[in-house]
Structure 1
């Protein structure tokens, strides 16, 4: 299984979009400050949204789709309108 996920940091009030095959491990990685783009929000990242995919390429495609919108409002809409964890 692969996931496209959205994190939120209460420290920076920012969202981060990514993809992985292991949500728990990836969240620990972000909160450890090991990812340059999320280091400033550590250790306060939490998973607020995730979609599950059978295929890595579909997960990456969805990540890019969300990022291309360049819209905080769209991300907030996704988070608020998800039907349970997993999109």
Structure 2
């Protein structure tokens, strides 16, 4: 099984979308200051996780999310997933700024 995931950094106020067969282990790598986009912060949290039967399905979903290029659309996806399945996210979406909030102030 492979999962598409979305990470969120409150330090950078950024999302990162990826695919992994082991999201928890991949999160550790993202937070260990490896090369790439996620090395900008070490507070990444998994805020959205969706399992797929195949890697190709997960990659297609990741591509769809990245094509949105919309923080608001990503926030809505996370909120809808956490409202339908409160255990679907490690943070429950609590650390995700609302689409209409001050980007420097997080809802707790």
Report the TM-score range of the alignment, normalised by the length of the smaller protein.
Answer: over 0.9
Greater Rg, structure 1 or structure 2?
2
Specify the alignment match of 1:13 in structure 2.
13
The answer to which structure has the higher strand fraction is 1
Stretches of structure 2 that go unaligned for 5 or more consecutive residues are 90-108
Tell me the secondary structure at the aligned position of residue 5 of structure 1. Answer: strand
TM superposition score normalised by structure 1: 0.93
Could you list the per-position Cα deviations for residues 10-32 of structure 1 after superposition, in whole angstroms to 9, with x for gaps in the alignment? 11010000111001110000000
Specify the alignment match of 2:33 in structure 1.
33
Q: Number of aligned pairs?
A: 85
Could you list the per-position Cα deviations for residues 35-77 of structure 1 after superposition, in whole angstroms to 9, with x for gaps in the alignment? 4111112x10000001100100000000000000111011000
Stretches of structure 1 that go unaligned for 5 or more consecutive residues are none
Q: 4+ residue stretches of structure 1 with deviation over 2 A?
A: none
Specify the alignment match of 1:79 in structure 2.
78
Q: Which has the higher contact order (CA 8 A, sep 6+)?
A: 1
Do 1:29 and 1:35's aligned partners in 2 also have CA atoms closer than 8 Å? no
* Equivalent-residue separation in structure 2 for 1:19 and 1:74 (angstroms): 19
